[in-house]
Amino acid sequence: METGKSMTSRFWRLSRLSLVLLGLALLCFVGSLCGNKPEEQFLEAVNISNNAGDSKNPSVAVDSRGTVHVVWTDGTPGIENQTEYAAICYACKPRGGSWSAPAYVSDTLHSSSFPQLVVDRTDRLHLVYQTWWYLGSHSPQRILYSWRELSGDWSVPETIVGSEDYVTPKIAVDSTGNVHVAWEWSPYSKRIRYAVRSPDGSWSPQQDLPAPSFSHPAGLAADRLGNLHLVCEHVATNYDSSDILYLMRSTTGDWSVPLNISNTGRAIWPAPLVTDRAGTVHAIWMFDTASAYWHGGFHRSRVPDGQWSPRTLVAPQIDHLSPRVPLLGDGDELIVPNPFAGRNDGEYEIVYVVKPAGEVWSDTVFCGFVKSDPYGFGVEAAAYDNQRRLYLVGSKSPSQHVYENEIYCVECSAERRKQ
Ligand SMILES: [Ca+2]
């Protein structure tokens, strides 16, 4: 028979056990409310260049099979004592696989830079970049174009002669296989030139576009109707103002007069253009307000009949948004990914905002955290596959005291939602 003292002792032992069990249950409950454990929300920034020289200017495309293709300017062509030389590197990653080792797709004798890569509806890759041939006092930049079937080799590059200054070519492919290229012309007046390559391989004559001097082409996109759209940044000759200009090339080959779609004198950094299945064109740019520390993104869209939407802030609830790489989702929604600095230890939060067709911008959608290594992470190029996965590519130094950049890719699902 238990004494009163032992019964009291047993009662307290049972109570303590109950409290422990209750505590554990509470922890599980709170854990389930929080969703994934914090460590599961970390996204890996994969270093896909991983070599000694400076790796920068990435461009990314994803094909219908989910293979991700990245090109960039790489400062390690193996030419000793010629550090100013660069070459174009390429790496790819099949769906569910790992990244290939970087391979040179330009020659390493001439300095090549500013690659742009697109994939067409038949999964053919199209690559354009600039190459500098030293010819003494007259040394023009050349624009090199080559293409590749998924299972084949790159074609022998075809050449367009540019001017002496940087030409930074932009490329777009339309649904019938025409390859459109626009680039800067002349180191002094910054006119824009254009040529188109027919599917039979013939190039049109070069054409000066009606954009004014000091216009820098930023985005070129074809729509399903066969029209071509160009956006450029125009800087006034006194550098006091900057605006975003838009031009369209109709199916008959005629270019429209430039339309100033920002019209504030303070618009900068237009993002690549996005066209949706209905033929709507989305333009996004950055706007420098009176504060030197705050940049907002602005959006306008143009429907096929030529009407432009009013200008709206991209995700007005977000400070410090840098909408550099808009993407089109599978429901014609516009997706704008963005990294945010600032959790603990410099970790970066990868988020995106969505603008469904005809609707307003969504709240921020959370993808995960990138740890502080690499030192910071900026999205310079992005792609979106047919399984709702985002591929965000940027160049960053691997640590705070290293000055050569590497190319990083962060991959995340667009299905995740902030808890
Ligand atoms: Ca490198």
pLDDT at 23 > cutoff 60: no
Q: In angstroms, what is the span from residue 115 Cα to ligand 1's centroid?
A: 16
Q: In angstroms, what is the span from residue 92 Cα to ligand 1's centroid?
A: 16
Q: In angstroms, what is the span from residue 407 Cα to ligand 1's centroid?
A: 7
Q: In angstroms, what is the span from residue 170 Cα to ligand 1's centroid?
A: 24
pLDDT reported for residue 418: 43
pLDDT reported for residue 365: 85
User: Out of 88-97, 140-149, 224-233, 323-332, which region has the weakest mean confidence (pLDDT)?
Assistant: 323-332
pLDDT at 11 > cutoff 80: no
Q: In angstroms, what is the span from residue 94 Cα to ligand 1's centroid?
A: 22
State pLDDT tens for residues 171-222.
Answer: 999 999 999 999 988 767 778 999 999 999 999 999 999 999 899 999 999 9
pLDDT reported for residue 251: 92
Q: In angstroms, what is the span from residue 52 Cα to ligand 1's centroid?
A: 5
Nearest to 72 by CA among 380, 348, 384: 380
Q: Are 314 and 338 in contact (CB under 8 A)?
A: no
pLDDT at 3 > cutoff 70: no
Q: Are 291 and 278 in contact (CB under 8 A)?
A: no
**The three-state (H, E, C) secondary structure of 201-216, written as one string:** CCECCCEECCCCCCEE
pLDDT band at 27 (very low <50, low <70, confident <90, very high): very low
Q: Please identify every residue whose CB atom is under 5 Å from ligand 1, which is an ion.
A: 49, 51, 55, 406
State pLDDT tens for residues 54-87.
Answer: 899 999 999 999 999 999 999 875 554 455 678 9
Q: Residues 150-174: what's their mean pLDDT?
A: 87
pLDDT band at 243 (very low <50, low <70, confident <90, very high): very high
pLDDT reported for residue 9: 56
Amino acid at 16: R
Q: Residues 279-293: what's their mean pLDDT?
A: 76
pLDDT reported for residue 255: 97
Strand (E) or helix (H) holding 33: helix 4-34
Burial class (CB in 10 A: 0-12, 13-18, 19+), 18: exposed
Q: In angstroms, what is the span from residue 47 Cα to ligand 1's centroid?
A: 9
pLDDT reported for residue 136: 67
State pLDDT tens for residues 98-119.
Answer: 999 999 999 877 889 999 999 9
Q: Residues 257-278: what's their mean pLDDT?
A: 92
Q: In angstroms, what is the span from residue 74 Cα to ligand 1's centroid?
A: 7
pLDDT at 24 > cutoff 60: no
Could you give the percent of the chain with pLDDT greater than 70? Answer: 78
Q: Which residues pair with 47 in a beta bridge?
A: 408
State pLDDT tens for residues 347-378.
Answer: 788 888 899 988 988 888 888 888 766 666 77
Q: In angstroms, what is the span from residue 220 Cα to ligand 1's centroid?
A: 28
Q: In angstroms, what is the span from residue 224 Cα to ligand 1's centroid?
A: 38
Nearest to 59 by CA among 330, 348, 299, 409: 409
The per-residue DSSP string of 242-284 comes to EEEEEEEE-TTSPBPPPEESS-SSBEE-PPPPEE-TTS-EEEE
pTM of the model: 0.86
pLDDT reported for residue 376: 66
